[in-house]
Amino acid sequence: MAPATGTTAAPAPPAPTGPTVVFLGDSLTAGLGLAEEEAYPALLAAELARRGLPVRLVNAGVSGDTSAGGLARLEWLLGQSPAVLVVGLGANDGLRGLSLERTEANLRAIVERAREAGARVLLLGMLLPPNYGPEYTERFEALYPRLARELGVPLVPFLLEGVAAEPELNLPDGIHPNAAGQRILAANVLPALEPLVRAAAAAR
């Protein structure tokens, strides 16, 4: 049989993928009540791509999750070989009045294990409403900057800065950001996240 004439188009090469960025969090990260693309991790991935920094996004936000739950899920997530791990946990610990010593130990273990696995870590700080009492709320607030300082990781001081207690930026429950609020969360995180992603991309 005579060979076929003409040319066959070569298959397109796979699209390049950037570093894997895992967001380990709770309902704020999951984007409770919103479409997946409206949650701040997806907004950040889109903005990073616009800035020439495409990433492989893993949104590991689970509604109601605590620091203990995040620690329990960490090993599986580290199996995804994240270049960057964004840790947004602890709010539910505080809202449930859990032991702050245990919360701090869980967050410390998450950061340390992630770094041992080769990931860069970004910690997202949280605050509590004042009705939890001044001693508990002050201790909770101090937990995040202390961990960031002692472990040498960057910190977003308050993920919900500009959104908390603003009715027009939250769902009717007054707790979870709506789509507009999620855009502010993304803006709060971007300045700390972008340098980590750039460093991870440069190291590939």
For residue 165, give every residue at least 6 positions away whose Cβ sits within 8 Å of its Cβ, in sequence order, or none: 174
CA nearest neighbour of 203 among 23, 20, 14, 48: 20
Per the annotation, the verdict on 67 as an active-site residue is: no
Q: What does the alpha-carbon distance between residue 90 and residue 142 come to, in Å, rounded to a whole number?
A: 12
Q: What does the alpha-carbon distance between residue 155 and residue 104 come to, in Å, rounded to a whole number?
A: 15
The answer to whether the predicted template modeling score (pTM) of the entire model surpasses 0.85 is yes
**DSSP assignments along 29-44, one per residue:** HHTTTS-GGGSHHHHH
Collapsing DSSP to helix, strand or coil, 120 comes out as: strand
pLDDT of res. 93: 98
pLDDT of res. 3: 43
Task: Give residue limits of the domains in the chain.
Answer: 20-202
Catalytic residue among 26, 67, 93, 176: 176
Strand arrangement, sheet containing 20-25: 56-61, 20-25, 84-88, 120-124, 155-156
pLDDT of res. 130: 86
Q: Of the CATH numbers 3.40.50.300, 3.40.50.1820, 3.40.50.1110, 3.40.350.10, which one belongs to the domain with range 20-202?
A: 3.40.50.1110
Residues lower than pLDDT 70 in the chain: 1-16
pLDDT of res. 131: 87
Catalytic residue among 26, 27, 67, 93: 27
pLDDT of res. 17: 80
